[in-house]
Amino acid sequence: MALLISACTEDQPPPRERRAARYPAPEATADAPPTQQPFNPNAPPESTDTTAQAPAATPPPTTKAAKGDYPYGTPVPGKPGFVKSPYAADQGLVDVRGFPPGTEVKDPFTNKIFLVP
């Protein structure tokens, strides 16, 4: 019977040199013109007319309902922190633990807002 023992050694690559990056290079900024930025199709169009000003944008009307306009969830007896949705009472229970009463929550079944009782 022959027994062969050998050691595996791997040569480690030499460590890389680290150089500090300098942006922008001092000699390039003194004489070179600024570089042009790439085209951005989502950017607003540039206006070459400086005398005309764009009309002030009016904010869109808010359609958010007041808190009193949302219905309340129905508490589930024997299960504190769980309510039935006013929009989908048959679908299941909604976990509202950690939300104080009167907080707006989103019904996971219909994505409508209701209030925590």
Per-residue pLDDT of the chain (117 residues; tens, 9 = 90+): 666 666 666 667 777 777 776 666 555 555 666 666 666 666 676 665 555 555 555 555 545 566 668 999 999 999 999 999 999 999 999 999 999 999 999 999 999 999 999
Q: Which residue has the tokens 């925590």?
A: 116
Alpha-carbon gap, residue 53 to 34, rounded angstroms:
28
Name 93's bridge partners: 84
Q: Which helix (H) or strand (E) holds 111?
A: none
Full-model pTM: 0.45
